[in-house]
Amino acid sequence: MNTIGDRLKVLRKERHLTQAELAEELHLTRYQISNYETNQVVPALDAIINYCKFFNARADFLLGLDEHYDNANLEQHTLQQIVRSANRLSSEKRNRYLNQVRLYAIFLERHKETL
Residue 90, CA distances (Å) to 69, 94, 103, 107 in order: 31, 6, 20, 25
- Where do the domains of the chain lie, and which CATH numbers do they carry? 4-69 (1.10.260.40), 73-114 (no CATH)
Across the chain, what does the average pLDDT equal?
Answer: 87
How large is the average pLDDT for residues 18-46?
A: 94
pLDDT band at residue 71, thresholds of 50, 70 and 90? low
Among 46-50, 66-70, 89-93, where is mean pLDDT lowest?
A: 66-70
Own/partner contacts of 58-65, CB < 8 Å, gap of 24 or more, are 61/7, 62/4, 62/7, 62/8, 63/4, 64/2, 64/3, 64/4, 64/7
pTM as predicted: 0.58
Instruction: Identify the pLDDT of residue 72.
Output: 54
Instruction: Identify the pLDDT of residue 70.
Output: 55
DSSP of 37-71: HTTSSPPPHHHHHHHHHHHTB-HHHHTTS-S--BG
Instruction: Identify the pLDDT of residue 34.
Output: 97
Q: Count other C-beta atoms under 10 Å from residue 32's C-beta.
A: 19
How large is the average pLDDT for residues 59-64?
A: 83
